[in-house]
């Protein structure tokens, strides 16, 4: 049904189509815009979210034959026909030409002598289907259900791989939905039509995700991270090390000789697997371990190494850098 702010909105412009566009053209334009502007594709983008709302509102009106007909009539009014004015026109801010055929300006009565009210006049201007102006001065429009906010706690594996979760509303009813792969901690997901019911359709469910930490893996965007301990000799001499993957298998990673503790190596394509077919990488950070206890030959070997490298100072120049401005 008509909404009061239709006077100020150009739904055709919002969708980028001409006023004589076919239903097919309108649907095609909406689908493209909705895909590009969808909140899931534009997280934390307030401008895209606002445009998405405008596009959705425009399509909801223009896709309905009756609402589009009513909207077109209102547009005609606002572009030169019977219309609201800023004041100084006819009664209640309407331009005089609307009322000239209905009122006697001297008495405020119809030509037949019977009094008429503003509501009677508006009822005659806008009829059919229960639409048009309400007696309260606004437009009647079925209300859409309100949005509902909720939170869901997911394990790290559920967040990375995606899962089906069931949520319980305050009234005891449940909502089952599919959480896509790769959701992040704190991310909001809008589930269309899963909110409170209304005459013009259900509202949305806005779900805030909380992701539990994993004991081994972490996240860096679509990349998965892991810290792998290596021995001194592996780091110094180089080695082939085995690294677990998120899927449960393992990969062999080549550790170059002279690898320092903290260096990160990349394993392509073993990160978050998106449903679009894209994937992140596995980032392997090396941590050189130090033996807690040395005995016998191991201690002798380390002492021999210390003697062989005597005079090497890994902290050379550090004090000068610390004093630099």
Domain range list for the chain: 4-125, 148-211, 217-308
Measure the CA–CA gap between 250 and 227, rounded to whole angstroms: 14
Helices of type H across the chain: 11-15, 23-37, 46-62, 65-78, 96-99, 118-125, 156-161, 232-237, 296-308, 318-323
Architecture of domain 217-308: Sandwich (2.60)
- The tokens of 173 are what? 């009813």
The Cα–Cα gap between 131 and 67 comes to: 9
Nearest residue to 33 via CA among 8, 10, 50:
50
- 59 Cβ contact list (under 8 Å, min separation 6): 15, 26, 27, 30, 34
137, 194 in Cβ contact below 8 A? no
**Can you tell me the distance from the alpha carbon of 81 to that of 285, in angstroms, rounded to the nearest whole number?**
71
Give one DSSP letter per residue of 146-205, joined into a string.
PPEEEEEEE-HHHHHH-EEEEEE-TTS-EEEEEEPTT--TT-EEEETT-S---TT----E
CATH architecture of 4-125: Orthogonal Bundle (1.10)
Dig out the tokens for 143 from the structure.
């209300």
Question: Are 148-211 and 217-308 in the same CATH fold?
Answer: yes
- Angle formed at CA 276 by CA 271 and CA 279, multiple of 5 degrees: 15
In this predicted structure, what is the pLDDT of residue 15? 92
Alpha-carbon gap, residue 209 to 225, rounded angstroms? 20
pLDDT in tens, the chain (325 residues): 445 567 678 899 999 999 889 999 998 998 889 888 887 788 788 888 888 888 888 888 898 888 888 888 777 765 543 333 333 334 333 434 433 333 333 434 444 444 444 344 334 334 343 333 333 444 556 788 888 888 889 999 999 999 988 887 777 778 888 888 999 999 998 888 888 888 888 888 888 999 999 999 999 999 999 999 999 999 999 999 999 999 999 999 999 999 999 999 999 999 998 877 778 999 999 999 998 888 899 899 988 988 898 888 888 888 888 988 6
Q: Say what the pLDDT of residue 111 is.
A: 41
pLDDT recorded at residue 237? 94
CA distances from 274 to 104, 187, 258 (A): 70, 16, 35
- Per-residue pLDDT, 104: 38
CATH superfamily membership of 148-211: Urease metallochaperone UreE, N-terminal domain (2.60.260.20)
């Amino acid at each position: 049904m008509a909404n009061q702010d239709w006077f100020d909105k150009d739904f055709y412009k919002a969708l980028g189509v001409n006023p004589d566009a076919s239903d097919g053209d309108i649907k095609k334009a909406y689908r493209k815009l909705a895909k590009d502007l969808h909140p899931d594709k534009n997280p934390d983008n307030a401008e895209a979210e606002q445009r998405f709302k405008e596009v959705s509102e425009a399509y909801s009106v223009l896709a309905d034959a009756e609402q589009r007909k009513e909207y077109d009539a209102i547009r005609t009014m606002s572009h030169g026909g019977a219309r609201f004015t800023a004041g100084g026109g006819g009664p209640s801010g309407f331009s005089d030409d609307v009322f000239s055929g209905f009122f006697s300006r001297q008495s405020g009565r119809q030509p037949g002598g019977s009094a008429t009210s503003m509501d009677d006049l508006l009822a005659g201007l806008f009829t059919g289907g229960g639409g048009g102006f309400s007696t309260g001065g606004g437009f009647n429009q079925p209300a859409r259900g309100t949005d509902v906010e909720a939170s869901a706690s997911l394990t790290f594996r559920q967040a990375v791989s995606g899962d089906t979760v069931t949520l319980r509303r305050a009234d005891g009813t449940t909502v089952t939905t599919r959480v896509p792969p790769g959701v992040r901690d704190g991310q909001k997901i809008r589930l269309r039509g899963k909110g409170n019911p209304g005459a013009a359709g259900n509202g949305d469910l806005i779900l805030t995700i909380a992701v539990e930490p994993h004991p081994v893996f972490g996240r860096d965007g679509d990349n998965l991270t892991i810290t792998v301990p290596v021995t001194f000799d592996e780091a110094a001499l180089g080695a082939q090390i085995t690294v677990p993957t998120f899927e449960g298998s393992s990969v062999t990673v080549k550790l170059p000789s002279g690898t320092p503790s903290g260096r990160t190596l990349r394993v392509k394509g073993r990160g978050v697997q998106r449903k679009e077919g894209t994937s992140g990488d596995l980032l392997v950070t090396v941590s050189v371990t130090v033996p807690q206890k040395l005995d016998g030959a191991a201690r002798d070997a380390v002492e021999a190494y210390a003697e062989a490298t005597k005079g090497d100072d890994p902290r050379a120049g550090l004090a000068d850098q610390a004093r630099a401005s």
